[in-house]
């Protein structure tokens, strides 16, 4: 069923589309890269980020401005303890602090002293990458591995550590709120292939092989402003429609990240047939990394100011052995 756009401006996002199981599976097969880099490959489309492309991306640095794209990892984050989820906001604790020194000040005031701390957090509770093994479809994940590849000890294949050296290169921002001249896109609004093409053309940027594409919807900024996160996690959200795969994947992008909790539009266009169809196509089949909960506001303002929507991007995950996702502090340099 087509749902008309909620945006009222001279440009409008295309209507939502509906996909059956057969539609999703056909798209997944069309863009499957299993075996492309060998039967043991665990880097997927990040293999497109070659040393030559990293050098070319480094040449994009002009002003030297640095932008952190991470939301703060603290107790005020977007996770609200929803039912059935183990994800909570990061819990930062002090093991040793100034009060400990003051309690024994007669001794502590002499010589060198130190403080110490720790953190508990689900690895996908904030700005993060999904590893390929985060999602299975019909019992398989990227390159044909089954559920036995992820045990209680962690992932034995497709762990996030496999891409710890292949997530630095050319970043490209698609700023849809500015393209549509609105403060943000509305929940449930799907950005289709034609919208991606039009936005890229308007911004004067060409998406190519090995690029890490960042999609700004304005959803994070809105939830922070209106509801102190509210239903940001697991609630309705704007995002990419499945047809965006038909624009991005033939261009051999390495990864796609967004300022929403799920990248693709929520509710998904493939419901009720397939849950999170874009994850099935990208993560499981195309081997394209998905990034979520990225803070793109400051970077978007800088891109709008100088008219340059490409930059050097460094977005390495933490090398947590066996992890199926990872927090990170992505850094864009213009």
Q: Answer yes or no: do 111 and 241 share one domain.
A: no
Give the residue from 211, 198, 177, 167 showing the smallest Cα distance to 303: 177
Residue 303 and residue 138 in contact, taking contact as beta carbons nearer than 8 Å: no
Confidence of residue 1 (pLDDT cuts 50, 70, 90): very low
pLDDT at 80 over 80: no
CA distance 66 to 162: 26
Confidence of residue 3 (pLDDT cuts 50, 70, 90): very low
pLDDT at 159 over 50: yes
Can you list the alpha helix ranges (DSSP code H) found in 37-109? 51-58, 98-103, 105-108
User: Which of 72-86, 181-195, 251-265 has the lowest average pLDDT?
Assistant: 72-86
Q: Answer yes or no: do 70 and 103 share one domain.
A: no
Cβ partners under 8 Å of residue 183, min gap 6: 177, 218, 221, 222
CA distance 248 to 211: 10
Q: Answer yes or no: do 33 and 115 share one domain.
A: no
DSSP 3-state of 282? helix
Q: Answer yes or no: do 189 and 169 share one domain.
A: yes
Confidence of residue 10 (pLDDT cuts 50, 70, 90): low
Residue 16 and residue 257 in contact, taking contact as beta carbons nearer than 8 Å: no
Q: Answer yes or no: do 204 and 101 share one domain.
A: no
Residue 166 and residue 333 in contact, taking contact as beta carbons nearer than 8 Å: no
pLDDT at 227 over 80: no
For the record, the structure tokens of 293 come out as: 């909960």
CA distance 111 to 170: 47
Tally of domains in the chain: 2
Q: Say if 96 falls within a structural domain.
A: yes
Q: Answer yes or no: do 314 and 225 share one domain.
A: yes
Q: Say if 98 falls within a structural domain.
A: yes
Q: Say if 99 falls within a structural domain.
A: yes
Q: Say if 1 falls within a structural domain.
A: no
pLDDT at 14 over 60: yes
CA distance 240 to 113: 51
For the record, the structure tokens of 64 come out as: 């030297």
Q: Answer yes or no: do 153 and 74 share one domain.
A: yes
pLDDT at 220 over 90: yes
Q: Answer yes or no: do 140 and 25 share one domain.
A: yes
Q: Say if 30 falls within a structural domain.
A: yes
CA distance 161 to 168: 14
**Which one is predicted more confidently, 323 or 227?**
323
Q: Using omega within 30 degrees of 0 as the cis cutoff, is the peptide bond preceding 272 cis?
A: yes
Q: Answer yes or no: do 276 and 322 share one domain.
A: yes
pLDDT at 228 over 60: yes
Average pLDDT over the chain reads 94
Q: Answer yes or no: do 104 and 190 share one domain.
A: no
**Which one is predicted more confidently, 85 or 272?**
272
DSSP 3-state of 160? helix
Greatest alpha-carbon span in the chain: 74
**Which one is predicted more confidently, 258 or 3?**
258
Q: Say if 163 falls within a structural domain.
A: yes
Q: Answer yes or no: do 71 and 205 share one domain.
A: yes
- For the chain, report the end-to-end CA distance as a whole number of angstroms: 42
pLDDT of residue 2: 34
Beta bridge partner(s), residue 191 = 240
Range of the domain at 108: 91-120
With a pLDDT cut of 70, the percent of the chain lying above it is 96
Q: Say if 3 falls within a structural domain.
A: no
pLDDT of residue 266: 96
Q: Say if 50 falls within a structural domain.
A: yes
Q: State mean pLDDT over 30-48.
A: 98
With a pLDDT cut of 90, the percent of the chain lying above it is 90
Cβ partners under 8 Å of residue 89, min gap 6: 74, 75, 76, 77, 78, 79, 121, 125, 126
Q: State mean pLDDT over 32-39.
A: 97
Query: What's the pTM value of the predicted model, to 2 decimals?
Result: 0.94
Q: What is the CATH number of the domain that holds 299?
A: 3.50.30.50
pLDDT of residue 138: 97
Q: Answer yes or no: do 99 and 246 share one domain.
A: no
Place of tokens 């960042």: 214
**Which one is predicted more confidently, 1 or 30?**
30
Per-residue pLDDT tens for 126-144? 999 999 999 999 999 999 9
Residue 158 and residue 187 in contact, taking contact as beta carbons nearer than 8 Å: no
Quick one: residue 322, left, alpha or beta (phi over 0 = left, psi -120 to 50 = alpha)? Answer: left
């Amino acid at each position: 069923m087509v749902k008309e756009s909620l945006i009222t401006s001279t440009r409008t996002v295309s209507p939502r589309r509906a996909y059956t199981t057969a539609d999703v599976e056909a798209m997944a097969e069309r863009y499957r890269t299993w075996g492309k880099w060998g039967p043991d490959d665990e880097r997927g489309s990040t293999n497109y980020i070659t040393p030559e492309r990293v050098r070319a991306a480094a040449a994009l640095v002009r002003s030297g401005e640095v932008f952190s794209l991470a939301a703060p990892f603290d107790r005020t984050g977007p996770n609200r303890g929803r039912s059935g989820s183990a994800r909570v906001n990061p819990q930062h604790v002090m093991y040793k602090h100034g009060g400990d020194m003051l309690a024994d000040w007669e001794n502590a005031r002499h010589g060198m002293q130190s403080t110490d701390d720790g953190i508990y957090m689900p690895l996908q509770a904030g700005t993060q990458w999904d590893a390929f093994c985060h999602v299975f479809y019909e019992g398989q994940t990227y390159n044909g591995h089954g559920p036995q590849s992820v045990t209680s000890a962690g992932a034995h294949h497709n762990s996030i550590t496999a891409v710890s050296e292949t997530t630095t290169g050319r970043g490209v921002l698609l700023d849809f709120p500015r393209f549509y001249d609105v403060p943000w896109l509305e929940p449930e609004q799907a950005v289709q292939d034609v919208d991606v093409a039009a936005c890229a053309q308007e911004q004067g940027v060409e998406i190519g092989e090995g690029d890490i594409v960042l999609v700004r919807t304005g959803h994070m900024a809105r939830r922070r402003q209106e509801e102190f996160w509210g239903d940001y996690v697991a609630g309705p959200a704007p995002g990419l429609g499945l047809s965006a795969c038909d624009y991005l994947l033939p261009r051999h992008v390495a990864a796609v990240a967004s300022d929403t909790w799920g990248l693709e539009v929520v509710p998904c266009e493939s419901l009720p047939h397939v849950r999170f169809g874009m994850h099935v196509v990208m993560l499981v089949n195309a081997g394209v990394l998905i990034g979520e909960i990225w803070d793109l506001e400051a970077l978007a303002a800088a891109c709008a100011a100088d008219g340059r929507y490409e930059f050097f991007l460094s977005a390495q995950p933490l090398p947590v052995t066996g992890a199926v996702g990872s927090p990170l502090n992505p850094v864009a340099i213009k």
